[in-house]
Structure 1
Amino acid sequence: MPALFEPLTLGNLTLRNRIWIAPMCQYSVEKRDGVPTDWHLVHLGQFAIGGAGLILAEATAVSPDGRITDRDTGIWTDEQADAWAPVVRFVQSQGAAAGIQLGHAGRKASTFAPWGSDGRRGTVPPVEGGWQTVAPTNQPFDGFAAPRALDDAGIDGVVADFAAAARRAVSAGFDVIEVHAAHGYLLHQFLSPLVNTRTDSYGGSLENRARLLLRVVRAVRDNAADAVIFVRFSATDWAPGGWDEAQTATVARWAVDAGADFFDISSGGAIAGVHIPLEPGYQVPFAASVKNAAGVRVGAVGLVTDPAHAEEIVASGQADAVLIGREALRDPHFALRAAAELGAEIDYLPGQYERAPYPSPTGVSL
């Protein structure tokens, strides 16, 4: 059996393979109320039919002001949690695990959606429904409106929002809860020394900059019953003096003590204007570095589009799983294709699709 199709057990959860679907924002809540819709059911459900082991729902806001755009999904109300439940049930009915990424966009919130906004970018003005953003300090992200620096009460509120979101995620049936601490959103903003210039107990030293994240992880763990807890990190800011792999590995070890089980390793997003050398698997070395330095389980992301490449990443021990994003949008059945190309014997090709299996490299349909 190819390494990519070996099951992986995390806590009480066994995932059928190591091909997982990364969280991908859809900006599809047309009512602007954070309630997931039929789009989310079909969008996420297709990946479960397509053989993935874990499907992670998009960055889902823990509070209204934590949304990237007003079309984001949320989980700050019971109505939202109730709407997520049928999505979870369908994903699980196809043999996959269901996960949700909990996030707060911080100073990158209240922006125009990247599609359907007539090409406008940046912060949505209050007269058009935008809101005051928050961050470690009042320094804005390049081209965005200035945020309000969070005080102690505001920080406590963020922790409480993540805790409540975790409880609702459990009530909706999610198997995995991912804490979003990457891509320049709020928790990453506190981690990065290029963004967090506070001088109180939440700024300065690594311990201080990691304080909010660790409080959030503990709060999620305390409210998540037996759910598996992921943390998504950007392993580098791609800039001198910024957040890097060594800091990521150190904080990952601390996060394990706080209750985290697995780490989803990405990169970038804290500051604008950096050069990122894009190529297939460009972020895989970061995952391998964090895995080796911290002794933790990790997932790799970043232009992984070929089954043989995905297999090599897992078989070589660079990562414990691969998370597929854009390639899954092009081919929602990527896992089924990978099974055919790699010669994996699986028993979860849906009966409805048995007449149209992917061909093996020898030309024989499996």
Structure 2
Amino acid sequence: MNDTELMNDSEPMNDSERDWLAWAITRVEADANRSADTHLHRFDLPDQWGVDLYLKDESVHPTGSLKHRLARSLVLYGLCNGWITSTTPLVEASSGSTAVSEAYFAQLLGLPFIAVMPRSTVQEKIDLIEFAGGQCHLVDDPAMINSEAVRIASEQGGHFLDQFTHAERATDWRGNNNIAQSMFGQLTLERFPVPEWIVVGVGTGGTSATLGRYLRLQKHRTRLCVVDPEGSAYHRAWTSGDREVRTRGSRIEGIGRPRVEPSFVSAVVDRMELVPDAASVAAMRWTTERMGRSVGGSTGTNMWVAAQLVAQLRAEGRTGSVATLICDDGRRYARTYYSDEWVRTQGWDLAPYTEVLEAFAATGEWHGDAL
């Protein structure tokens, strides 16, 4: 049974539920209201290059990642559509940061939360979800987590939050302090307040949809570059025009998918770049060392291409700025991306990519195409 059927079969809201709904929405909005907006950091590049690079730090949200915004939007969307009531269990198919953030909001509202996850999910993520009061339902076949989440939600009278379908529609892309409006507000006093490029990865597609739509609404000439890790379907689908592409999936947590999800709005994307996994991890470590701030693998994916765009602007004799995101806290990956032993087991050689980044930092030139 889908959400529309559940909504059509429901009884009109009584006064008790109406009061609870008002309380719940206030609780969710208060979480946003008491949190300062995320910082926009200027990456250290020589002023004489004439190109500035910024990173919006989404790791400082209460649940430590960009997905805090998405979880808040998904819960508000469910509340305002009448899909979430005072007794509704919340269910998600996710092994990553989205489930951590959704568990937080479920706990905020006193609702049960169940994350359907592959059995291979790292213990750190399971611990974070359980710390926030959620339950983890583990399945052997990762391809089955979506259908299993639908089954559990149906059997328990719950609401399947379904991030990959609802992400692009749950967020108010016109403004209302979304990530795009926030970023442009913070850039107002910079020497190049309207970036030449914004670089983001794609997981659900919600962030790229929000940014791309906002850029068009505000009539900015900023172009949107979406980065995709190897093994993901998005880049291949965007370049071929075939949304039915199927791939093995991504090894960079938080971005990339084995199929194109409904929330990916390809028409708002100006450019897509495919990034090798070793480049993502090398750029992650390089960024952490340069900024003194631990970042995750998807931030490395962003930075590999953001540096390339900075070098491209310089090579073309142009000035301007490039903006991207710190997606989550790198401390979550101490046993994986930051572990040399673990990286070796993946067959990744980071050295050639680190050399490209060091040469970029020294000269402003990009030689990554030779790899």
Query: Higher helix proportion, which one?
Result: 2
TM-score where L is the length of structure 2 = 0.30
TM-score where L is the length of structure 1 = 0.30
